[in-house]
Amino acid sequence: MQTPLQITFRAVTHSDALSAHIVERGERLEHLFDRIVSCHVVVELGGHHHRHGNRYHISIHLGLPGHELMVTHAPPEHREASSVSTAADLAFDEAERRLEQWVKRRRDVHSDD
């Protein structure tokens, strides 16, 4: 990445373990596309339900050459809450899928030239 991965915690206590996990997942994105300009991950507590526990929202903003990709993961209201690391994994899984699609479309456009 041209700029180091940024992590912001909102209403969530900073965790070195979670930060390391997010950095690792960010590095996996770089294996899909090595020209990522920037990556900003926001981890926030989206609320607490007395029966379902904490709800974590994870947002990933990827800066790409000439394009931006935004992924937001928020658990559905009716589902049991997951851990913050599981929420991060689900968001990064979606980011990987969308980045792969973008790279494929980009490749297809450039191969038609």
Can you tell me which residue has the tokens 């990709």? 69
Which of 108, 32, 30, 21 shows the shortest CA–CA distance to 58? Answer: 21
How many CA atoms lie less than 13 Å away from 112 in the CB half-sphere?
Answer: 5
pLDDT 10s digits, 63-96: 999 999 999 988 766 555 578 898 899 999 999 9
Predicted pLDDT at 25: 96
Predicted pLDDT at 81: 53
Predicted pLDDT at 80: 56
Which of 52, 96, 49, 46 shows the shortest CA–CA distance to 71? Answer: 96
pLDDT 10s digits, 23-66: 999 999 999 999 999 999 999 987 665 455 678 899 999 999 99
Distance CA 44, CA 54 (A): 10
Predicted pLDDT at 1: 80
Predicted pLDDT at 73: 86
| Contact by Cβ (8 Å): 10, 44 | yes
Angle at 27 between CA 87 and CA 58, to 5 degrees: 20
Task: Please report the domains of the chain, with CATH numbers, ordered by start residue.
Answer: 6-111 (3.30.160.100)
Which of 91, 74, 84, 75 shows the shortest CA–CA distance to 26? Answer: 91
Query: Is the pTM value of this prediction over 0.75?
Result: yes
